[in-house]
Amino acid sequence: MRMRERVPRLPRRERRIDKTARTNEAIRVREVRLIDADGAQVGVVATDQALRMAREAGYDLVEVAPAARPPVCRIMDFGKFLYQQKKKAQESRKKQKQFEIKEVKFRPNIDDHDYEFKLRNAHRFLDEGDKVKATVQFRGREMSKPELGLNLLKKFAADIGERGIAEGHPEMAGNRMHLVFGPTKKSASSRRPASATGNGPAAEN
């Protein structure tokens, strides 16, 4: 029984197949290294013979590694392959995590009731899989006491608990101090649909 020739493993960039790959009569080299429809490596054959074998099997001859010498071609259902690749790409996009950045705003002297209301909103945002931007706004003489905002954000981070995790440290920009929290795996149990995007912060309701 004739032993089939073993082909070296192809580099990753040469194993990619897309709709720009040459197929059938567009493959104009004299001979190719052929892989049959079952994935078995046949060896080097004349291109006309490889095309004939593909036609007899009811499939296409597809150039999968044009940079190889000779080029590597495979017998396959090219139309079905492209359709499956398109479906995989669509499914992959659907599974990508999409989020918004929701902003909750505080004053340094915020009362307990207002603070608890904003904390509940932040918990809800994080549970939905969104990020939360906590912002402390200073006015007038409050600007001379940035430690008030820092202490408030530290308290907020502690009250967020396991629902979120701080991304970095509090930062001052103008008359505002902010800190961003991302959802943890425990909090993000129900994700938003893939149509939601994270282009910028959205204010709380």
DSSP secondary structure code for residue 137 in this structure? E
Residue 112 host element (H or E): helix 112-127
Q: What percent of the chain has pLDDT over 70?
A: 80
Per-residue model confidence as pLDDT tens digits over 78-136: 999 999 888 888 887 776 666 789 999 999 999 999 999 999 999 999 998 899 999 99
Structure confidence at residue 201 as a pLDDT band (50, 70, 90): low
Per-residue model confidence as pLDDT tens digits over 39-81: 999 999 999 999 999 999 999 999 999 999 999 999 999 999 9
DSSP secondary structure code for residue 24 in this structure? G
Rounded CA separation 118/122 (Å) = 6
Give 130 or 5, the one with higher predicted confidence.
130
What sign has the CA pseudo-torsion 188, 191, 196, 197? positive
For the chain, helix, strand, coil in percent to 5 are 35, 25, 40
pLDDT at 35: 95
Query: Which residue in 44, 47, 49, 50 sits closest to 29, CA to CA?
Result: 47
Rounded CA separation 125/104 (Å) = 10
112-127 and 146-160 are packed helices; what angle lies between their axes, rounded to 10 degrees? 50
Q: Which domains does the chain have, with CATH numbers?
A: 12-94 (3.10.20.80), 101-203 (3.30.110.10)
pTM over 0.85: no
Tokens of 159: 């009250």
Query: Which residue in 156, 164, 155, 204 sits closest to 188, CA to CA?
Result: 164
Rounded CA separation 104/202 (Å) = 9
Structure confidence at residue 188 as a pLDDT band (50, 70, 90): low
Mean pLDDT of 24-41: 94
Give 49 or 13, the one with higher predicted confidence.
49
DSSP secondary structure code for residue 21 in this structure? S
Residue 166: pLDDT above 80? yes
Residue 169: pLDDT above 60? yes
